[in-house]
Structure 1
Amino acid sequence: MQKNTGIKRIFLAFGYSLKGLRSAFKHEAAFRQEVLLAVIFIPLAFMLDVTQIERIILITPIVLLLILEVINSAIEAVVDRIGSEHHELAGRAKDMGSAAVLIGLLLTVYIWIEILFL
């Protein structure tokens, strides 16, 4: 089997990434909700009277939250693919992925409150 290299590999990788984003949007309600938050809060960050650095700091955790949700969804998909029976390690993996999203959400809320109100 011949490996794809160079520019062809880059285009294929980009296509796989878009496919992953479409899949997350189609199959994951939490991802759709977080995209909606991003659609609201990222433009809001540009309308606020804050410095450029503060704007970057406001937007970064929102994007990080989307990244964490995609990773969490990938973990859940792999665990579900392996088997439907309950296993402690499978449950732990899913719970940890969910915890990562929660921490990202709490970080986002904290940063927005800290910059806008404190």
Structure 2
Amino acid sequence: MAAICLFLCTHDSLPCFGHLPRGPRRIFQAARWSWQGLRAAWLHESSFRLEVYLLIVLTPVAIWLGQTPVERALMIGSMLLVLAMELANSAIEAVIERYGSEIHELAGRAKDMGSAAVFVLMMNVLLCWALVVVPHALAGSYG
């Protein structure tokens, strides 16, 4: 029976009941879910809002300080990675909170690791910015 279901669900000409839509409908549905996730993070996660504000303020600075498209992409891209990890960290925390409010070592460890991942990417932002800005500043390129 499972083999029949697998066969039916892997052939595009046959309907696949209970699965995601295919083609453009799937892309639109995925975009809708992504937008809902961004909206939920904006409404419920103050750290996400702060990081978005920093991205808005620092993007023009990165465009001004970066002297090549690659430098600008590195500076802005590193900040976008922080936002992406903040979304993942918030999702981890939401799932843990969903399954109970009692203190559990594994739950605490998962939350701490998610937070540490955000921190590592924040350190990556500092490193990327320093590797772009310091050599130009020492060479007098900004003067």
TM-score by length of 2: 0.78
Residues 20-70 of structure 1 show CA distances to partners (whole Å, capped at 9, x for unaligned) of 000001100000000001001112211225111111111111000000000
Alignment RMSD: 1.2
The unaligned stretches of length 5 or more in structure 1 are none
Higher relative contact order (CA 8 A, sep 6+): 1
Counterpart for residue 7 of structure 2: none
- Structure richer in helix, relative to its length: 1
Moved over 6 A (4+): none
Matched, 1:41 2:58: yes
Percent identity for Structure 1 against Structure 2: 46
Matched, 1:89 2:106: yes
Matched residue pairs, number? Answer: 118
| 1:16–1:49 distance in 2 versus 1, CA, 3 Å | closer
The unaligned stretches of length 5 or more in structure 2 are 1-16, 136-143
Once the 2 structures are TM-superposed, how far is the Cα of residue 114 of structure 1 from its aligned partner?
2.1
State the structure with more CA Rg.
Answer: 2
Counterpart for residue 115 of structure 2: 98
